[in-house]
Structure 1
Amino acid sequence: MKVDLFDFELPAERIALRPAVPRDSARMLVLADGRTKDRQVSDLPACLRAGDMLVFNDTRVIPAQLDGTRGEARIGATLHKREGPRRWRAFIRNGRRLSHGDRIDFADGVFATALDREDDGSWALEFGGVDPVELLLNRAGRMPLPPYIAARRTPDAQDADDYQTMFASDPGAVAAPTAALHFTPGLMETLDAAGIGHTTLTLHVGAGTFLPVKADDTSHHRMHAEWGRISQATADRLNAVRSAGGRVIAVGTTSLRVIESATGEDGVIGPFDGDTAIFITPGYRFRGIDGLLTNFHLPRSTLFMLVSALMGLERMKAAYAHAVAADYRFYSYGDASLLLP
């Protein structure tokens, strides 16, 4: 499909620079039963049914942005995928100043060696020293806010809390699974009381999620692989929910992509442990999920293509036009949409 089909007008002032307070006071556009309703995230228990299951991504964002030098040259690195105990794939700012074997010095004595370069411009970095890389990043790195936020304000200490979900427990992401940012302990208690269950899986979100689609046709776009995991116990729970007539509702496109990667043609969800580069566009047949809670996405992005595959392109364009006109807040710190096809 032509990428231009997924374009729409979005005024810059619709991009949220801070999350709603409290988190579950964010607005929620509900698309269900052929209708569109304006609600709040705190209304979610009333929008679902007893027996439904919410699936959260438990990845934790790491301080994946680093500033350093190679000689006199300033080098910026955004880690996006772990490739070994001390090796990370990274997008490099000023990468033309790097060669294989160059040492990059970051803050507080942290350093890495540049190894191979991919066609997409990313480099493999091998971190030196003996301390675990997680400790090195805590010393030298900073929270990797999305570029559409970082370009408009300086990241600060508040983002260290705002940009983590309440489910974050498995470090490895360089971007938050932002749909889950809306949840609070109080909302989870209300969902539990309504008979709406929840479980977790893992997808370590990479910086490739922010890369623009440069191809003119979706068939020419290459997705970056991300590592995910679904345990056998979680797969069994999800299959049992559907067998009993409940719905599996992915919280965020990251959860959705792992579930769909783990689901066979027969609709049975299996355990999963590995990379996924699944690219969902209109025409895709969903096998493992029955609904999605997600934020509002960028024009021409792979994520807007995904929600268009779930609900239909024209319906999503109309929904986004309504959201713009009604002053919904977009992107990572913005409002939510509940999509029930």
Structure 2
Amino acid sequence: MLTAMNVGSSDFILIEDLGPKRKISVKEKVGEVENWFEKNLRRLATWKTITKKLPVLTWARTYNSEDFVGDLVAGITVGLTVIPQSLAYSNIAGLPAQFGLYSSFLGALMYIFLGSCKDVPMGPTAICSLLTYQAVRGYGPMHAILLCFLSGVIQFLMGIVGLGIMIDFISDPVSSGFTSAVALLIISSQVKDILGIRAGGATFIEMWTSILEDVQNTKFWDTIVGVICVVILLLMRLLSDVKLAKSTHPDNWTTFQRVVNKSIWLISTSRNSILVIVSGIVGWYFCETADEPLKLIGPLPPGLPAIQLPPFSTMKGNHTAGFFEMVSDMGSGVIVLPLIGLLENI
């Protein structure tokens, strides 16, 4: 029904009277929800969406033997490097050594199917290990496992709602300053291991205060081996620039020069693996002879832990700490860790 309203001497406005608003029944609301789900399920079921969520379906069709050989060499090299690296990261995080090994390959296995960028490193990192230590220091592995789970959930939700755009608001000076500060903390956290002393602390000042208080207990052989390993790594890194030829262009090299230069490059690239193997043999020798002038990690529990849900409660002193108490114990680390983990991969 149309109603005319006189708003002036000769001006009229026509207003449509719609009457009372019709109420939507519960059945109609359920139908709308069903239609929304059906529409989105159809969109998710398209091949384009499936391959976007599972990139393995795209590159697996063009995977060949040449790719396999390259991946095999890279896998062996990286695998041998990851072993001591993950042990070091577990030490930085203040967790038992086996937790570093667990985290070193589980993420990589999942990334085979879900990864969309071949240049993104998967596994524990120095920054996240340090933040984990600061969040769960004094609480034990159960808090660390829950922290890892919550970080994954938060990153998953951020991906769903498209919060990755937050990274665009972080300036380069902030990112560089943060990285430099963390580098100093990581270096400081490893000084105690090179010296073979017991020191702790979560901040830069706490670490160096603890180191200086215990520096008189420095172990000679630990320091010698640590310094030698660092020097060898740096020297082997320089080998990649050594070329057994006057010409820098590979097309002008002889067959002998190609073989030698390729071998030098391979040795330089595999420097971490070579040092791991040599150091492992030295450590095994000292374990077998029952003479341990060096500080060794010692035996690790064999096998893998049982697959189960993360702990939502744990024993804390003489009482059981619930989920919310555990989250409260970790403080801002629950929010900071997933954000930093996302920032590392940008």
Q: TM-score range with shorter-chain normalisation?
A: under 0.3
Q: Which has the higher contact order (CA 8 A, sep 6+)?
A: 1
Which structure's residues are more often helix, by fraction? 2
TM-score (norm 1): 0.21
TM-score (norm 2): 0.21
Greater C-alpha radius of gyration:
2
Which structure's residues are more often strand, by fraction? 1
